[in-house]
Amino acid sequence: MLDKLEQIAERYEELTNQLSSPELLSDPAAYAKAAKQHRSLGEVVEKYREWKSLKNEIAGARELLDLADDEEMRELARVEIDTLSARLEQTESDLKLLLIPTDPNDEKNVILEIRAGTGGDEATLFAAEMLRMYARYAERQGWRMEILDASESGIGGIKEAIALIEGEKVYSRLKHESGVHRVQRVPQTEASGRIHTSAITVAVLPEAEEVDVKIDPKDLRIDTFCSSGPGGQSVNTTYSAVRITHLPTNLVVSMQDEKSQIKNREKAMRVLRARLQELEEQKQHEAQASERRSMVGSGDRSEKIRTYNFKENRVSDHRIGLTIHQLNLVMEGDLDAIVKALITHYQAEKLKAEAIAA
């Protein structure tokens, strides 16, 4: 482990020097790549420096313990050694986690897609509440969330919504939200008071930057049309809405949220890049992608990853056996307990895999 940490520290110093070089500054794509690697290594290097500092402090305390004639000084040295050793043990654990191969997408913003599944109108109402839940969570994290597109149902629910969430390490915290989310409650549309079960699907895609996905303009067909729905006369009578078709893959993205055709086009391209990157990852990692697609599934209730039971004020994540009886707080965006439990679980799984491989 020490050899690997030294190599990381050396690479970090190299990148620190390179980032101020005129050659790198003149190449935006290369600079962005180097800056991203520099940020990812920084946390490891900082923790490694802390580890080395603790080792030196422990060595100094042990030397004092060996040389001190005063019993009181020797006792102080023992207490110092115990305290520093506990910190060192925690630092070593932190380093092991940091050395686990990371998902290259963890630092990225995300495209969040929510779609109503089985359950009719009740599913659209729950989809709207889930969108609000993620908006509240993003607000708690200091992130910025923007609704790119939404298709509403007649009773105030959402059939489908696409949102962009920007901030620090958004994908690392939200990537485990992909899948089928099941709700059990008495819906507003039910007069007899019976509990219904409905489902929605959530997909979390890392936002692809232009340096990640190259799109040939010749591969795009761009159509414009009048927006529908609310927005006033200027929206409904001008060709501000945009539909972009990527001809090689037949992927289609439509955007009509903005009054400006240019802004709608920019938003549509951001979603298109994210979906194209997802397709590319599926080609490169077919086995992994197959598992990921199965997480989202068809929206059927039987494919759930999580259940929200309103009568019992309970939310259960079926992948890790976690149950929390604070659904009211979760729906207000208090997702930290669930998110942290999922991250801890999958980090432990990676540690086991690393130990077996070693």
Walk along the chain (358 residues) and give the pLDDT tens digit of each residue. Answer: 788 888 889 998 999 999 989 888 888 888 888 888 888 888 899 999 999 999 999 999 999 888 888 888 889 999 999 999 999 999 988 888 788 777 888 888 999 999 999 888 899 999 999 999 999 999 999 999 999 888 888 888 999 999 999 998 899 999 999 999 999 998 776 666 788 899 999 999 998 876 677 888 899 999 888 876 544 444 455 678 899 999 988 999 988 877 888 888 888 988 998 888 888 877 766 654 454 454 455 444 446 899 999 999 999 999 999 999 999 999 999 999 999 999 989 888 887 776 666 5
Q: At which of 70, 98, 126 does a domain end?
A: 98
Helices (H), ranges, 168-260: 170-174, 233-237
Q: Is residue 22 part of a domain?
A: yes
In a domain, 199, yes or no: yes
What is the pLDDT at residue 203? Answer: 93
Verify that 193 and 301 share a domain, yes or no.
Answer: yes
Give me the DSSP letters along 145-177: EEEEEEEE-TTS-EEEEEEEEESTTHHHHHGGG
pLDDT of 358? 58
In a domain, 104, yes or no: no
Q: Decide: helix, strand or coil at residue 277.
A: helix
DSSP-derived pairing of the beta strands 158-166 and 196-206: unpaired
Q: Are residues 37 and 153 in the same domain?
A: no
Same-domain check for residues 197 and 300: yes
* Whole-angstrom distance, CA of residue 114 vs CA of residue 116: 7
In terms of DSSP H, where are the helices of 208-285? 233-237, 261-284
Helices (H), the chain: 2-18, 22-25, 28-67, 71-98, 121-141, 170-174, 233-237, 261-284, 286-296, 327-330, 336-357
Same domain, 124 and 262: no
- Claim to verify: residue 81 and residue 127 sit in the same structural domain: no
Q: What is the pLDDT of residue 299?
A: 45
One domain, residues 295 and 193: yes
Compute, in degrees rounded to 10, the torsion defined by CA atoms 249, 297, 136, 311: 160
Q: Are 244 and 265 in contact (CB under 8 A)?
A: yes
Considering the domain architecture, whether residues 33 and 74 belong to the same structural domain is answered as yes
- Check residue 303 and give its pLDDT: 66
Per-residue model confidence (pLDDT) at position 229? 54
What is the rounded CA–CA span in Å between residue 268 and residue 250?
Answer: 14
Residue 82 belongs to what domain range? 2-98
Are 195 and 325 part of one and the same domain? yes
Instruction: Tell me, yes or no, whether 146 and 249 share the same domain.
Output: no
What is the pTM (predicted TM-score) of this model?
0.69
